[in-house]
Copies of this chain bind each other. A is one copy, B any other.
Amino acid sequence: MAYVNDNYLKLKAGYLFPEIGRRVSKFAKENPQAKVIRMGIGDVTEPLPAACISAMHTAVDEMARRETFRGYGPEQGFDFLREAIARHDFQSRGAQVQADEIFVSDGSKCDTGNILDILGKSNVIAVTDPVYPVYVDTNVMAGHTGEADSGGRYAGLVYLPMTEANQFVPALPEQKVDIVYLCSPNNPTGMAASRSALEKWVDYARKNEAIIFFDAAYEAFITEADVPHSIYEIEGARECAIEFRSFSKTAGFTGTRCAFTVVPKGLTARTSTGEKVELHGLWNRRHTTKFNGVSYIVQRGAEAVYTPEGQSQVRQLVEFYLENARLMCAGLKQAGLTVYGGVNAPYVWLKTPNGLSSWDFFDQLLSKAHLVGTPGSGFGASGEGYFRLSAFNSRANVLEAIERVNKFVQG
């Protein structure tokens, strides 16, 4: 008699985005004339950079001729891409990351979930609150938690609140933790960790032999000099951090699929009998056993991001969304709302007016302004009373949305 993984049954049924989808569909059906603007899911809207398009056409043509056809590639990614990443994303910033420490994958969502495979069951795990739900759900699936309470917090996880009260800078945990997820620039708050904040975390991790899972998917949106682009800009981070990066938001690859994870050589954790084991070797074993590499065509597209044309096109793309975010912050402030984020990230995190709950604000904004955002409480208990708007949209929609929010707040 086959048995299921009972841990899956602890997952709460309603994942955030399907619930949003359900409410939006219902509204759209009942109000077919309403022009709904969707700023809920953080998905890009602008086309791929021309350099990527051109590189992928060339790669497709290579697949059409026997002499240039590519079968299985290295599971870890082609050297041409790993080397370009190491040089441009790390070494150019003084972060000592080598090409063979980079594992190319089809998505950071996958990597942040799969990384748990190589770690033990006894680790104490810390997440921020609010948080990207995948970190929590994958720990639930792996059996690292007990049941959820009525507020949605799972027993066994350590939650680190990020609210207005601490200016969205999570405090170091009071109890000892073994693994901590940090996302900077942050999804959902749009706030970014300063150098000194990251230094404190690296210091904490080294003292406690903890590991930081550093999610830098929104790194390209950083505008302030004080905000590190990589955790490896912090001294000592190679001993205690794994970094996740993605082409999704940088180059618009959400539907094209390419990301990478850095596992530094020398980064270790303990066996149950206390010996140190390098995580690089374990992750390499997982990656080569349970993954078969990213499409050659896509890897050539990603490589093109690092050409001079690619860099300038990506910069333009990011600037476009950042200008959206700036307009949104300014417009919402003018409407009298309290607004965070949007400076180093494509997300604006606003306080719901009049003490409305996140979902009540969602419903009112949808029904009165025909505007869709994401209720902050969907990202965790401490997100209650907040609301996320994504700057991934056309300029026209952004301007229209700002106007509607203004009318809504006034009215």
* A residues apposed to B, CB below 8 Å: 1-6, 8-9, 11, 15, 41, 43-48, 50, 53, 56-57, 60-61, 63-66, 69-73, 106-107, 109-110, 113-114, 117-123, 134, 137-138, 141, 178-179, 208-211, 252, 254-257, 269-272, 277, 279, 282, 285-286, 288-298, 394
Which of B47, B106, B296 is the one whose CB lies under 8 Å from A66?
Answer: B47
A256 pairs with B178, CB closer than 8 A: no
Taking A134-B289, A282-B4, A295-B257 as contacts, is the C-beta distance between A271 and B48 under 8 angstroms? no
Residue of B nearest to A137 (CB): B289
Q: Across the interface, name the chain B residue whose C-beta is closest to A60.
A: B56
**By the criterion CB–CB under 8 Å, are A290 and B109 in contact?**
yes
Alpha-carbon distance between A106 and B259 when the two chains are bound, in angstroms: 14
Are A48 and B71 in contact, with the CB atoms below 8 A?
no
Q: Would you call A69 and B41 a contact (CB within 8 A)?
A: no
A2 touches B269 (CB 8 A): yes
Which residues of chain B have C-beta atoms less than 8 A from A69's C-beta?
A: 45-48, 252, 255
Minimal Cβ-Cβ distance residue in B for A258? B295
Residues of B within 8 A of A269 (CB): 1-4
A305 to chain B, nearest CB (A): 14
Q: Contacts A2-B270, A63-B53, A107-B291 given: A282-B8 contact, CB under 8 Å?
A: yes
Q: Does the CB pair B138–A15 fall under 8 Å?
A: no
A295–B292 contact, CB under 8 A? no
Q: Are B61 and A288 in contact (CB under 8 A)?
A: no
* 29 A–B contacts from the bound complex (CB under 8 Å): A1-B210, A2-B120, A2-B178, A2-B209, A2-B269, A4-B119, A5-B119, A5-B121, A6-B120, A8-B285, A47-B63, A47-B66, A47-B69, A48-B64, A50-B64, A57-B60, A63-B256, A71-B254, A72-B254, A106-B295, A109-B289, A110-B290, A113-B290, A117-B141, A134-B289, A138-B289, A141-B286, A141-B290, A295-B298
Minimum CB–CB distance from A78 to chain B (whole Å) comes to: 10
**Chain B residues, Cβ within 8 Å of A209:** 1-2
Q: Is the CB of A2 within 8 A of B63?
A: no
Q: How far is the CB of A177 from chain B (nearest CB, A)?
A: 9
Q: How far is the CA of A44 from the CA of B271 in the complex (A)?
A: 40
Q: Is the CB of B53 within 8 A of A290?
A: no
- Find chain B residues with CB under 8 A from A141 CB: 117, 286, 289-290
CB contacts (< 8 Å) of A8 on chain B: these are 118, 282, 285-286
Are A109 and B291 in contact (CB-based, < 8 A)? yes
Chain B residue contacts of A119, Cβ below 8 A = 2-5
A3-B119, A4-B282, A110-B290 given; 14 more Cβ-contact pairs under 8 Å: A1-B270, A2-B119, A3-B178, A4-B271, A5-B119, A9-B277, A47-B69, A56-B297, A71-B254, A106-B257, A141-B289, A256-B297, A257-B293, A257-B295
Q: Please, which residues of chain B bring their CB within 8 A of the CB of A56?
A: 60, 63, 297
Task: Name the contact of A72 in the complex, choosing from B43, B73, B290 (C-beta under 8 A).
Answer: B43
Contacting pair A285 B60 (CB below 8 A):
no
The one of B4, B114, B118, B294 in contact with A257, judged by C-beta atoms closer than 8 angstroms, is B294
Which residue from chain B places its CB closest to the CB of A63 in the assembled complex?
A: B48
Complex: A286 Cα to B15 Cα, angstroms: 12
B109→A4 contact, CB < 8 A: no
What separation, in Å, do the CA atoms of A270 and B46 have in the docked complex?
46
CB distance from A212 to the nearest CB of B (A): 10
Q: Report A259 CB to chain B, min CB distance, Å.
A: 9
